[in-house]
Chains A and B, each alone.
Chain A
Amino acid sequence: ETGVTQSPTHLIKTRGQQVTLRCSSQSGHNTVSWYQQALGQGPQFIFQYYREEENGRGNFPPRFSGLQFPNYSSELNVNALELDDSALYLCATSRDRGSEQFFGPGTRLTVL
């Protein structure tokens, strides 16, 4: 199965700004998870949404927030950007909370 898309592909922001990243869910998938992957590291879980409700959250501050829409597409919002927020942001969708996750190609965010 394929079909998870993310936009934009790349993004450059400055410190203090706000950013919104988008993820389209694969057909039939009601669960989306967001990850942050810093350079040279593995992905870190940010949070998961299941049927429009937050279903779990990793160790990220409240300025990282999300939304899942009725069509199961999703947004990741980051406020008050910091230099350390520079990373690849991955979303992954699945048929259910415990099912195999299918990843999008990611959004590369650079904070200057």
Chain B
Amino acid sequence: DQQVKQNSPSLSVQEGRISILNCDYTNSMFDYFLWYKKYPAEGPTFLISISSIKDKNEDGRFTVFLNKSAKHLSLHIVPSQPGDSAVYFCAASGSRDSNYQLIWGAGTKLIIKP
């Protein structure tokens, strides 16, 4: 039973355009959501997070949107750059304090075309 789903295994976007990565979850008890980025042969690195009390969080080129009623979150990257090519994971937990108990999606491979 996948509680966190990333339905697009891959996404190809032109450099300079907006990249939108999507994530759906089924557990309404999830309270804290994170996005991680992973390059080959490296561990995941934290990108941005959002608490369920918010519907948007922005950090530079990265914005995460949360729609609790739809149990859906998305990561927007604008403008997309070649260095953004990586696998992106969304993850969820019951609270920020227990963020180690993360439930992860399967990841979306983002390819930025020059």
**B window 79-105: CB within 8 A of A:** 89, 91, 96-105
> Does B98 contact A56, Cβ atoms closer than 8 Å?
yes
| B59 at the binding interface (Cβ < 8 Å) | no
**A window 1-60: CB within 8 A of B:** 4, 31, 33, 40-45, 48, 55-56, 58
> Which of chain B's residues have a CB closer than 8 A to the CB of A43?
44, 89, 102, 104
> Which of chain A's residues have a CB closer than 8 A to the CB of B46?
100-102
For the complex, count residues of B whose C-beta is within 8 A of A: 21
Which partner residue on chain A sits nearest B90 by CB separation? A42
Once bound together, how far apart are the Cα atoms of A101 and B32, in whole Å?
14
Contacts A40-B106, A41-B106, A42-B4 hold; do A58 and B43 have CB atoms under 8 A apart? no
> Does B100 contact A97, Cβ atoms closer than 8 Å?
yes
| B41 at the binding interface (Cβ < 8 Å) | yes
| A66 at the binding interface (Cβ < 8 Å) | no
| Interface size of A as a range | 20 to 34
> Which of chain A's residues have a CB closer than 8 A to the CB of B105?
42
> Does B42 contact A97, Cβ atoms closer than 8 Å?
no
> Which of chain A's residues have a CB closer than 8 A to the CB of B42?
103, 105
Which partner residue on chain B sits nearest A92 by CB separation? B43
**Apart from A40-B106, A43-B102, A97-B97, what 17 extra A-B contacts exist at CB < 8 Å?**
A31-B100, A42-B4, A42-B91, A42-B104, A42-B107, A43-B44, A45-B101, A45-B102, A45-B103, A92-B100, A97-B100, A98-B96, A98-B97, A98-B98, A101-B46, A102-B46, A105-B41
